[in-house]
Structure 1
Amino acid sequence: MGKKSLVCSFLIFFLFLQFGNLIAKAEEDKDEPKQLHAQSAVLMDADSGRVLYGKEENQIRPMASTTKIMTCILALEEMEKNQMVTISDYAAGQPKVHLGVQSQERYYLKDLLYSLMLESHNDSAVAIAEGIAGSVESFADRMNRKAKELGCNHTYFVTPNGLDDSDEEGTHSTTARDLAMIMRYCMMQSPMKEEFLEITQTRSYQFTDVDGKRNFICTNHNAFLDMMEGALTGKTGFTADAGYCYVGGLRQNGKTFIVALLACGWPNHKSYKWEDTRALMEYGMNEYEYRNVWQEVSIPDVFVTNGVRKQSPFESNIQIEAHVDGKEDIPVLLRDDEQVKVQTEVESSVEAPVVKGETLGIVRYILEGEEIASYDVIADESIEKRTFKWCMCWILKCASM
């Protein structure tokens, strides 16, 4: 090989490496945020519940006062109108952060929800739990049942306030994914979602005990409400075991996101959770857009065996048409490099009788191996079954004509 050929080969090899590096860099640039402080993190599409970004999202960890979103939504759903609660010795003895209620005082439960969510008071959480279920243990059972209903299979509640604790069944803990799912229920699905958002968006709230002897003012400590346009709700948390935690929601330009963070630093890194929240929310806003993924699907005719049409009784090889029973609008929040696959599953032949509108198959929309939408394929006409009785009736009818 000559010197000139060797140089050309080297240049080609060099350019190939550079081109490969550029491709790798482009792919890396499209990757999710990598410099998060949180040990576990999730960015969720609140409309669909799809996880758009996850970092150890299924790792079980303590969740501190983010627990209180479940306490709040259960109380809103189960409390009676103008329900009052009498403070127990146990509630009054809860550690800081606390409202400072005293044993045997009476409070309206609704007022204590503002104390719970704005100031994260631990005594208010216990008073609420006892007012709803009679005891902390019974209320925790309700919290765990609700978590199971929501599909949060890696969550276990021991306390209504999120203080580090455990019992014979397990440790008070959750995952970033489960925590995001609970927040999605609170702000998107619960029959009391509007009341939940009203409480958590309140900047300041003043109330007294039932007898009017003591006055309290609660100030919202969720800094995220003033951090980003469209901030909807959120709850902070901290314990020695959990570290700083946060879960919050945002709606902007028709897109709604939830961020959940666990173990997002320890003192003196209180601001880490806000940095991570902003980074994930901005990632969602910048990288994801709604696209209509509906596709025109060609449905083959379906053979009907042992069938008969009244208008053509001697017809054989009967085929019927079918169509997709669905709308032509399937908006999905997607990144540029994400594609939805369409799978059509239709019976090639069916046994008569067939009823018009009967399901003959299904069209599935698949994103990253998960079904995001599906529509039935239904028959366009009815076909009777060719039986001896049908044949005899047809012969007799013809004979009488």
Structure 2
Amino acid sequence: MKTKCFFSLFLLTALFLSLWTAPHAAALDDPEVQAKAALLVDAKTGNIVYAKNEHQEMYPASTTKIMTALLVMEAIDQGTLSLTDQLTASHTAMTTGLAEDGSTANIQEGEIMTVEQYLTCMLVVSANEACNVLAEAVSGSVEAFVDAMNDKAEELGCENTHFVNPSGLHDPQHYTSAWDLYLITKEAMQYDDFMRICDTATATIPATNLSDARTLHTSNYLIGAWWSRGYLYSDAHGIKTGSTSQAGHCLVSSATRGSLSFISVVLGADRVTLDDGEIRTYSFYDTIQLFDWALDNFSYQSVLDSDEVIGEVPVTLSKIDHVTVHPAEEVEVLLPNDIHAEDLERTVVLKDPVEAPVKEGDVLGTLELSYDNTIYASVDLLAMHDVEASQLLTFWHNVQLFFQKTAVRVTAVILLVLLAAVLVWKLLLGRRRYRYGRSVGRGRSGGYRGRRRH
């Protein structure tokens, strides 16, 4: 008895130690973000890496200019405008909806610059007047351009966005969300000229008809130089700053290191003076925290091979009763370094069953990979080989389907009713004839035969 108790205690102890020492996936702690809303997205896959109030309506300030630049880039792509076109700053452009204390490149009414130079003024030093000049060049008027901005936002799937002006100057009805701003930015980043200009730290605008040459320094401290106040980030590229008293400090940026690339959106951040006298602008500080956290703790991992057998799908109308399925492609996903492919939960959904014929490559299901309620990938499952149909089984199946049709069933019922009616009618008619025949017979045998003559 003592031996059995000792042995049981030994097994329990061994089991406890094995559970304690077994490797397991630990949850990666999120970075501390002070801003009211923030979003970090894997630029390669579009997967969200970090999110805070990403769908909350927020004032975007000058990050609005990303949408303005996008519409200009589209006009250039469509051939209605070019980077070298000369534009003149009109009176309406210089007076419509501008604030005296707003960001400016000191453009004057009647000044002539190229589209690229106006874009540089808008994206590097956030010049509000440049937005109006470009808006008129694209749509004919600022008002028409704003309509185009809202139409484009809807087209991109933005659900919490409404623009009132092309610059981002405050208006209660001018708002967006971190997610919507990401959608807009992702679209704009497809244009190389957009990224080239907004990733410019210092630009020189040559002398114009009304101004000497101007040197512009970016308002984005992540890509600046001596004026960056300690926020210079070597992996950062672009994109746009913004700030008003109502919006707080905002920043849309991107960062690339090796194979990793992220897009970040930070909205509603504060600028504070710390106890040691440091003036901290949290739009830059939070963005750096997000980039460091992601670049240091995430990597791409191969989680599915395209030739891996995932399961079997039953097949009818064939002598072969199943077909195996495999992923449509090799899947590589961005994962925290403490999570591995074998830690991911697989959710397989297969058609059950399918009818032959089945062709190699037919989509027969889906596979979803997730961890802790986060979906990392979803891929189609394809048939690995052909499955021919049996002619006899197919014929019998088609016969069954034919007689299952409502119209056929109704027709069959009608025919049966008609047939029954005909049979009944014939039966009744036959009885009548039988009775009539018997009556006539009796008349002939017992009826009047004429008067006998003597």
- The one-letter code matched in structure 1 to 2:367 is V
Matched residue, 1:372: 377
CA contact (8 A) 1:114 1:205 kept: yes
CA contact (8 A) 2:122 2:131 kept: yes
Matched residue, 1:125: 131
Shift in CA distance, 290/210, structure 1 to aligned 2, threshold 3 Å: same
Once the 2 structures are TM-superposed, how far is the Cα of residue 75 of structure 1 from its aligned partner? 0.8
Matched residue, 2:196: 198
- 1:293 maps to 2:303: yes
What is the aligned-residue RMSD (CA, Å)? 2.9
Matched residue, 1:161: 167
Instruction: Decide which moves more: 61-70 or 221-230.
Output: 221-230
Once the 2 structures are TM-superposed, how far is the Cα of residue 198 of structure 1 from its aligned partner? 0.9
- 1:347 maps to 2:351: yes
Shift in CA distance, 159/333, structure 1 to aligned 2, threshold 3 Å: farther
Once the 2 structures are TM-superposed, how far is the Cα of residue 113 of structure 1 from its aligned partner? 0.3
Matched residue, 2:111: 105
Matched residue, 2:364: 360
Give me the whole-angstrom Cα distance separating, in 1, the residues matched to 2:48 and 2:363. Answer: 32
Alignment of 1:35-74 (within 5 A): 36-74=33-71
1:234-255 residue CA offsets vs partner (Å, 9 max, x unmatched) = 2111112101111111101321
CA contact (8 A) 1:324 1:363 kept: no
Give me the whole-angstrom Cα distance separating, in 2, the residues matched to 1:345 and 1:110. Answer: 51
- Residue 175 of structure 2 aligns to a residue whose secondary structure is coil
Matched residue, 2:423: none
> Between Structure 1 and Structure 2, whose CA radius of gyration is higher?
2
Give me the whole-angstrom Cα distance separating, in 2, the residues matched to 1:70 and 1:344. Answer: 40
Give me the whole-angstrom Cα distance separating, in 2, the residues matched to 1:110 and 1:175. Answer: 28
Unaligned runs of 5+ in 1: 1-25, 308-315, 392-401
- The one-letter code matched in structure 2 to 1:306 is L
- Residue in structure 2 matching 1:232, options 222, 233, 237: 237
Matched residue, 2:218: 220
Give me the whole-angstrom Cα distance separating, in 1, the residues matched to 2:264 and 2:312. Answer: 47
Matched residue, 1:272: 282
- The one-letter code matched in structure 2 to 1:231 is A
Give me the whole-angstrom Cα distance separating, in 2, the residues matched to 1:365 and 1:389. Answer: 37
- Residue in structure 1 matching 2:184, options 182, 205, 216: 182
CA contact (8 A) 1:41 1:259 kept: yes
Give me the whole-angstrom Cα distance separating, in 1, the residues matched to 2:251 and 2:316. Answer: 60
Shift in CA distance, 154/209, structure 1 to aligned 2, threshold 3 Å: farther
Matched residue, 1:330: 332
Name the count of aligned residue pairs.
Answer: 347
Give me the whole-angstrom Cα distance separating, in 1, the residues matched to 2:170 and 2:280. Answer: 19
- Residue in structure 1 matching 2:266, options 248, 257, 261: 261
Give me the whole-angstrom Cα distance separating, in 2, the residues matched to 1:56 and 1:389. Answer: 55
TM-score, normalising length from structure 1?
A: 0.77
CA contact (8 A) 1:67 1:160 kept: yes
Give me the whole-angstrom Cα distance separating, in 2, the residues matched to 1:106 and 1:390. Answer: 78
- The one-letter code matched in structure 1 to 2:145 is F
- The one-letter code matched in structure 2 to 1:345 is V
Once the 2 structures are TM-superposed, how far is the Cα of residue 305 of structure 1 from its aligned partner? 2.5
- Residue in structure 2 matching 1:152, options 158, 162, 179: 158
CA contact (8 A) 1:324 1:377 kept: yes
Matched residue, 1:3: none
- The one-letter code matched in structure 2 to 1:185 is E
1:190-234 residue CA offsets vs partner (Å, 9 max, x unmatched) = 2x1x21121012222223476476533322221101512211112
TM-score, normalising length from structure 2?
A: 0.69
Matched residue, 1:11: none
1:44-92 residue CA offsets vs partner (Å, 9 max, x unmatched) = 2222222212222222110101111121122122132222323222321
Once the 2 structures are TM-superposed, how far is the Cα of residue 165 of structure 1 from its aligned partner? 1.8
Once the 2 structures are TM-superposed, how far is the Cα of residue 301 of structure 1 from its aligned partner? 4.3
CA contact (8 A) 1:291 1:334 kept: no
Once the 2 structures are TM-superposed, how far is the Cα of residue 131 of structure 1 from its aligned partner? 0.9
Give me the whole-angstrom Cα distance separating, in 2, the residues matched to 1:388 and 1:38. Answer: 65
Shift in CA distance, 73/341, structure 1 to aligned 2, threshold 3 Å: same
- 1:305 maps to 2:316: yes
CA contact (8 A) 1:320 1:379 kept: no
Once the 2 structures are TM-superposed, how far is the Cα of residue 361 of structure 1 from its aligned partner? 2.6
Matched residue, 1:248: 253
Give me the whole-angstrom Cα distance separating, in 1, the residues matched to 2:130 and 2:376. Answer: 42
Give me the whole-angstrom Cα distance separating, in 2, the residues matched to 1:389 and 1:235. Answer: 63
